[in-house]
């Protein structure tokens, strides 16, 4: 249903802010405010890890070299 879509924006690697603000930004940028989604990223080993709280959001942003590639999946979809 959902194809690939690419958006670029910058975050401060050392002070990325709060996960909740990032989540709202993602929903706004992709015009999916009415959907519940899971956000994840691929770590340096290629494993898909969740971004769902302030701690793992900071880890994702601070470990991204050079870019943080974010994956958005509709909640409940495989």
Domain-embedded: residue 6:
no
Domain-embedded: residue 20:
no
- Annotate 25-53 with three-state secondary structure: HHHHHCCCCCCCEEEEEECCCCCEEECCC
Q: Is the pLDDT of residue 34 over 80?
A: yes
Average pLDDT over residues 22-34: 89
Tell me what pLDDT residue 54 has.
Answer: 95
Measure the N-to-C terminal CA separation of the chain; round to a whole number of Å.
Answer: 11
Mean pLDDT, all residues of the chain: 85
Tell me what pLDDT residue 46 has.
Answer: 85
Contacts 24+ apart (CB under 8 A), 44-52: 51/19, 51/22, 52/19
CATH number at residue 50: 3.10.20.90
Confidence (pTM) = 0.77
Distance between CA atoms of 55 and 72, rounded to whole angstroms?
18
Domain that holds residue 41: 37-77
Q: Is the pLDDT of residue 31 over 60?
A: yes
Domain-embedded: residue 8:
no
Number of domains in the chain: 1
Domain-embedded: residue 46:
yes
């Amino acid at each position: 249903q959902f194809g690939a879509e690419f958006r670029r924006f910058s975050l401060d690697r050392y002070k990325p802010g709060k996960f909740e603000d990032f989540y709202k930004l993602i929903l706004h940028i992709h015009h999916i405010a009415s959907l519940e989604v899971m956000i994840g990223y691929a770590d340096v080993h290629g494993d898909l890890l969740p971004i769902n709280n302030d701690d793992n959001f900071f880890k994702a942003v601070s470990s991204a070299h050079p870019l943080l590639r974010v994956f958005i999946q509709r909640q409940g979809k495989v």
